[in-house]
Structure 1
Amino acid sequence: MKILTFSFDDGEIYDRRLAELLRKFGMQATFFLISGQLGIRVPFYRYGEDTVVERVSAAKIPATYCGMEVASHTQFHRLPQEEKEIRREMEESLAVLSRACGYVVCGMAYPGGHCAQAQADTLRRMGLTYARLTEPTHDFAPPDDWLQWRPTCHYADAAMPALLERFAAASGDALFHIYGHSYELTQSDPQKNWLGFERLLQRLSAVPGVQYCTNVDAARLWQMRRGT
């Protein structure tokens, strides 16, 4: 079983174009939204210049992410240490996103890309299916703990060409998880911009026998296959 899944954080308006591009290739992804910042516009300093960050609004979630999965990036891009505070942050975020999506949201990505064991354990007790980190594995093995799921790599990782070759050549089970942020695609660097990402999708689409999944579907399929 070969699975390809993508995930993208923060819920900026560039997600609309990104989701359209993924649909063009018949691929799926999970988008992690900050529920307390839906629809906002705020000044931000990025790539050496002042800009304005604009988040997708709650009303536009169904159309923007049609065919994709929406999951939580917490309520305010933070994850406290204390269980009571974690529950408050996550329960509100999951409720807001579930109402906007029309289905139960059951996954999350850690703000900052890392977590403490106690935080992962709290999410497990809350019944979340998975939670994603950002430290890459550069391999195709499933996580030992789905509440501390490390992706294979970032979409612009220097190791991507070699990983593509290994994924195409893999004869056994392989889980390829690629992550990033849609705003990164606005850069001029041809390896990181929209054209570069579309070329990556073209190369991935040429790999035969691959099942395209959202994060939650990838996790559930793998867990069913392994009996976990």
Structure 2
Amino acid sequence: MTKVLMTFPEGKFKVLTLSYDDGRNADRRLVEIMNSHGIRGTFHLNSGLFGSNDRIPQEDISSLYEGHEISAHTVNHPTIARCPKEQIVDEIMEDRKGLESIAGYTVRGLSYPNGSYNKLIKEMLPYMGIEYSRVTHSTGGFAIPDDWYEWRPTCHHKQNLIGVADNFLSLQKVQYLYMMYVWGHSYEFDNDNNWDVIEAFCERAGRQTDIWYATNIEIVDYFKAFQRLQFSASRSFVYNPSARPVWISANGKIVEIGGGSQARLV
């Protein structure tokens, strides 16, 4: 029978994503650095705070984050584990509405403001159209999360970012999938006077041929598309009901299964 393994697009086995919160003006410099090295990520924004406290004004949001993901962070950034359910719903749904009116696409991601969440909030999120949410507890590793509503990053950019990146870049065992996920706040680079850290990281980690550069929601969507693949019992062929293509390794050969198409594997 055919031995099937999931891969990332084009048969890659590593993915890199960045995630930055609050939409402060330092994002302008961060996005410029990321773009220059082909690195992509997700920016979690508070739609009720645009233009205040050094935050980017609403009229600049769409153009600044083009090519990246605009994601929710609640309207006003409360510690939501302390809020009643009605307020939690308002904070997330109104943030979605505000961001979607700017982005022009469905906002389906979240990062918990102040890292605040609990079991109840996680259970509520699917009913509000949220498909993932990032926490602040770092793993230090490169494993794929098993709970998209408690998505733990690899590291904050203050946590030996270059050393972690070197470990990630050195990974060569293609029998595994690896994810490096970096998070933080761009204003921290101003506060700590260390823009050289993210510049060195992006220069080192960017434009690598064996890495898929993706936003948070693209990663979630890709895994869900793989899980929807319909394999024959013998795994001799497979049908992809999703619109997006999915890549797999079939007996060591990389196979692309186009959206809405069937592929033979033997």
Which TM-score bucket, shorter chain as reference?
A: 0.7 to 0.9
- Could you say which residue in structure 1 is the equivalent of 2:147? 145
- Does 1:39 find its partner at 2:51? yes
Deviation at 1:224, TM superposition (A): 2.6
Deviation at 1:136, TM superposition (A): 0.3
- The Cα offsets for residues 13-65 of structure 1, whole Å up to 9 and x where unpaired, read as 1111111111100111100111110111xxxxxxxxxxxx3111111111111
Alignment equivalent of 1:121, drawn from 100, 113, 123? 123
- Could you say which residue in structure 2 is the equivalent of 1:185? 189
- Could you say which residue in structure 2 is the equivalent of 1:16? 28
One-letter amino acid matched to 1:176: M
Contact persistence 1:138–1:163 (CA under 8 A): no
Deviation at 1:159, TM superposition (A): 6.5
Between 1:156-165 and 1:94-103, the stretch displaced more is: 156-165
Tell me the SS of whatever aligns to 2:42: strand
- Could you say which residue in structure 2 is the equivalent of 1:57? 57
- Could you say which residue in structure 1 is the equivalent of 2:204? 203
**CA distance, structure 1, for counterparts of residue 62 and residue 209 of structure 2:** 30
> Percent identity between the aligned chains?
32
**CA distance, structure 1, for counterparts of residue 196 and residue 161 of structure 2:** 19
Contact persistence 1:12–1:182 (CA under 8 A): yes
Q: 1:159 to 1:197 in 2, by over 3 A?
A: closer
Runs of 5+ consecutive residues of structure 2 not aligned to the other structure = 1-12, 230-266
- Could you say which residue in structure 2 is the equivalent of 1:104? 106
**CA distance, structure 2, for counterparts of residue 29 and residue 164 of structure 1:** 19
**CA distance, structure 1, for counterparts of residue 112 and residue 32 of structure 2:** 25
**CA distance, structure 1, for counterparts of residue 209 and residue 170 of structure 2:** 8
**CA distance, structure 1, for counterparts of residue 86 and residue 42 of structure 2:** 27
Runs of 5+ consecutive residues of structure 1 not aligned to the other structure = 41-52
**CA distance, structure 2, for counterparts of residue 65 and residue 87 of structure 1:** 25
Between 1:196-205 and 1:1-10, the stretch displaced more is: 196-205
How many pairs align? 213
Deviation at 1:125, TM superposition (A): 2.0
**CA distance, structure 2, for counterparts of residue 195 and residue 226 of structure 1:** 40
Between 1:156-165 and 1:194-203, the stretch displaced more is: 156-165
The TM-score with structure 1 as length reference comes to 0.87
Tell me the SS of whatever aligns to 1:169: coil
- Could you say which residue in structure 2 is the equivalent of 1:43? none
One-letter amino acid matched to 1:64: L
- Does 1:66 find its partner at 2:66? yes
Deviation at 1:218, TM superposition (A): 1.4
One-letter amino acid matched to 1:178: V
Q: 1:166 to 1:213 in 2, by over 3 A?
A: closer
Structure exhibiting the larger radius of gyration computed from Cα positions? 2
One-letter amino acid matched to 1:95: K
Q: 1:183 to 1:227 in 2, by over 3 A?
A: same
Between 1:121-130 and 1:199-208, the stretch displaced more is: 199-208
Q: 1:89 to 1:23 in 2, by over 3 A?
A: same
**CA distance, structure 2, for counterparts of residue 36 and residue 142 of structure 1:** 33
- Does 1:214 find its partner at 2:203? no
Contact persistence 1:168–1:207 (CA under 8 A): no
**CA distance, structure 2, for counterparts of residue 205 and residue 89 of structure 1:** 35
Contact persistence 2:165–2:205 (CA under 8 A): no
**CA distance, structure 2, for counterparts of residue 116 and residue 138 of structure 1:** 22
Deviation at 1:87, TM superposition (A): 1.1
- Could you say which residue in structure 1 is the equivalent of 2:7? none
One-letter amino acid matched to 2:213: Y
Contact persistence 1:10–1:73 (CA under 8 A): yes
- Does 1:2 find its partner at 2:4? no
Cα RMSD of the aligned pairs, angstroms, is 1.9
